Amino acid sequence: NLIPLEWFEKILNGNRIAVEADALDGVKKKLKDVFKSRPVPKVALDRVTQDSNLFHYGELHFDKGGLFFLAEFKDIEVQRRLEAVLKLLGDEGLGGRRTAGYGLFDVEPDTIELEIPENADRYLLLSLYWPPQNERNILSLKNSSYQMVRRAGWFLLDDGRSYRRRPIWMFSEGSVLNIRPIGGVADVTPDAVPDKHVYRFGYAFILPIKAVDHANL
C-alpha cells in the first residue's frame, strides 16, 4: 500500500525492484512517525439522574505536515473554485467536534513530478473507479490486476432524516487496467427517497504504467 517515490517510478516504467523485508518495515515506521493518536477521557451526565458515565474518544495529531490529495485541472476557473471551497472547509473544520475547535486546517498547494513511460500499455488507478456500461463492455479483466471494494454509507437530508446510500462495487486504488479508464458518476439514490438524487463520484485518476515482461524475469 505504501512505497517510496523512487520505487514507484521504477514500477511505472516496468522495471524490476529488489525489496527486502526490513526496507518495507522502514517505510511503515516512517508512516507511524507522521501522526499519533491518543484516547481522551470524557464524562457524560444523565440529564435526569445526573449519574456519570465515563467514555473515551480518539484524537489524531500530526507531527509535520498533514493529509494530502492529488488533483489534475484542465480549467483554471475550476481550480480557483476548488481552492475557495478548501479554504472554507479549513476554516470550518472536518470531522467530529468541530464546535470544540477540532479539524481546522490550512491548505498549501504544491506540485509533484513523476517520470512516466512513453510506451505504456496499462493504466494504474490512484483513485476509486466506477466504470459506466460502455467501459464495462471493453474492459478485459484477464489482462488486468485489480481489487473490488464495496462502497455504501449514509447521507442526510435537509429535514434531518438520514438514509443509507445504495451500495455499489468499485475498482480500488492501485488496480492496473488494460484500458484507459474514464469512469462516471453512479446514481446511489435509495428507493425510499425517489424524489431526490444522490450520486457517488467514480471518475478515475490514473497514471500510465508499463507492464513487466515476465518472460525475461
Do the Cβ atoms of 148 and 174 come closer than 8 Å? no
pLDDT beyond 80 at 87: yes
pLDDT at site 112: 85
Asked whether residue 17 carries a pLDDT value surpassing 70, the answer given is: yes
Cα Rg, the chain, nearest whole Å: 22
pTM for this model (two decimals): 0.77
Q: Do β-strands 154-156 and 52-62 pair in parallel, antiparallel, or remain unpaired? A: unpaired
What lies within 8 Å, CB to CB, of 104 at 6+ separation is: 90, 91, 93
Question: Distance from CA of residue 38 to its chain's centroid?
Answer: 23
Contact present, 107 and 86 (Cβ < 8 Å)? yes
User: What average pLDDT does the segment 81-104 reach?
Assistant: 87
Strands (E), the chain: 35-45, 52-62, 122-125, 148-151, 154-156, 162-164, 168-171, 176-177, 183-187, 199-203, 206-209
Confidence of residue 143 (pLDDT cuts 50, 70, 90): confident
User: Do 147 and 172 touch, CB atoms closer than 8 A?
Assistant: yes
